[in-house]
């Protein structure tokens, strides 16, 4: 069966690579990865690298994503970058990543304002949601996911919901966390189902079938296939393994192989 939804393979480089290193990585990747109709490869470098990479990138082959931005469009906000200032460089923006939520204390209000700001500026937000280890231990996984989804989409109208991508990233599965362990496919399948059900209740069944849901957390070249085969999972958000060109290329090849089998 052919899925009408694309497969997204996203490199979240986090706070790694200078602009020069990022450019070299992109150059090498460009020589190895063929553009594909079904697979969208997205690179999320640091803000400082967005402009130079946007000049270098072939947008038919790869797209760029911002890792972060401030939700106001301009003004006296020292040190911040507005999505309106970088929107010509990117097609996507990661919003609500757990490192933003828990290290930088981003609130649900910040996150829903950022989702709205991205949409207003013609950029697709990738809204990250996921429970902490403690929430999972306390049996609060469903309520945590559900609340973050609800809050993140508060400002998103029925007209705009098709411009949003959701990424399920359980905090305890992200490699930078102490004792991180990869999520089990059954847990991801369950979260994916919960997200689609909630989207269906608010925005209707068709929207819930069309929305893209990604998984992120300790994905590497060996485990990517298992995650991409979970029904309803439309791609991967990759941290650590995306820093190594060979691993990232191998994950892209795996995604292509799985699409070709469908």
Active-site annotation, residues:
97, 169
Q: Across the chain, which distance is largest between two alpha carbons, in Å?
A: 52
What lies within 8 Å, CB to CB, of 234 at 6+ separation is 3, 5, 6, 7, 8, 212, 213, 214
Q: What is the CA radius of gyration of the chain?
A: 17
Stretch binding ligand 13P (CB under 6 A), from 81-89, 112-120, 210-218, 247-255: 210-218
By CB under 6 A, the residues from 38 to 97 that bind ligand 13P are 97
Q: Residue 60: helix, strand or coil by DSSP?
A: coil
Q: Is 125 a binder of ligand 13P (CB under 6 A)?
A: no
Counting Cβ atoms within 10 Å, is residue 201 exposed (0-12), middle (13-18) or buried (19+)? exposed
Closest distance between ligand 13P and the C-beta of residue 44, in Å? 8
Binding residue (CB under 6 A) for ligand 13P from 131, 135, 151, 169: 169
Binding residue (CB under 6 A) for ligand 13P from 112, 127, 174, 255: 174
Q: Comparing C-alpha atoms, which of 176, 174, 181 is closest to residue 236?
A: 174
Between the CA atoms of 117, 119, 121 and 123, what dihedral angle is there, to the nearest 10 degrees? 120
x/- track of binding to ligand 13P for residues 97-116 (CB under 6 A): x-------------------
Q: Is 216 a binder of ligand 13P (CB under 6 A)?
A: yes
* Residue 173: C-alpha distances to residues 26, 136, 138, 179, 260 (Å): 27, 11, 16, 8, 29
Decide whether 8 or 70 has the Cβ nearer to ligand 13P.
Answer: 8
Q: Is 141 a binder of ligand 13P (CB under 6 A)?
A: no
| Residue nearest to ligand 13P as judged by C-beta position | 239
Decide whether 87 or 97 has the Cβ nearer to ligand 13P.
Answer: 97
Q: Is 238 a binder of ligand 13P (CB under 6 A)?
A: yes
Q: Applying CB under 6 A, which residues contact ligand 13P?
A: 12, 97, 169, 174-175, 216-219, 237-241
């Amino acid at each position: 069966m052919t899925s009408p939804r694309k497969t997204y393979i996203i490199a979240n480089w986090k706070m790694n690579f200078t602009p020069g290193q990022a450019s070299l990585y992109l150059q090498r990747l460009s020589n190895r990865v063929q553009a594909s109709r079904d697979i969208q490869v997205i690179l999320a470098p640091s803000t400082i690298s967005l402009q130079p990479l946007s000049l270098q990138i072939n947008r038919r082959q790869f797209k760029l994503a911002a890792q972060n931005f401030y939700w106001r469009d301009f003004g006296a906000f020292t040190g911040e970058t507005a999505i309106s200032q970088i929107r010509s460089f990117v097609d996507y923006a990661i919003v609500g990543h757990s490192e933003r939520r828990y290290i930088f204390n981003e609130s649900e209000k910040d996150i829903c304002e950022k989702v709205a700001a991205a949409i207003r500026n013609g950029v697709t937000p990738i809204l990250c949601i996921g429970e902490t280890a403690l929430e999972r231990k306390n049996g609060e996984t469903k309520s945590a996911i559900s609340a973050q989804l609800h809050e993140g989409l508060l400002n998103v109208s029925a007209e705009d919901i098709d411009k949003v991508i959701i990424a399920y990233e359980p905090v305890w599965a992200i490699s930078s966390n102490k004792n991180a362990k990869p999520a089990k496919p059954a847990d991801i399948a369950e979260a994916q189902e919960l997200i689609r059900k909630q989207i269906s209740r608010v925005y209707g069944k068709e929207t819930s079938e069309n929305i893209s849901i990604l998984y992120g957390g300790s994905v590497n070249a060996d485990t990517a296939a298992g995650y991409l085969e979970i029904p309803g999972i439309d791609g991967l958000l990759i941290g650590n393994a995306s820093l190594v060109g060979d691993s990232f290329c191998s994950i892209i090849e795996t995604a292509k192989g799985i699409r070709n089998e469908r």
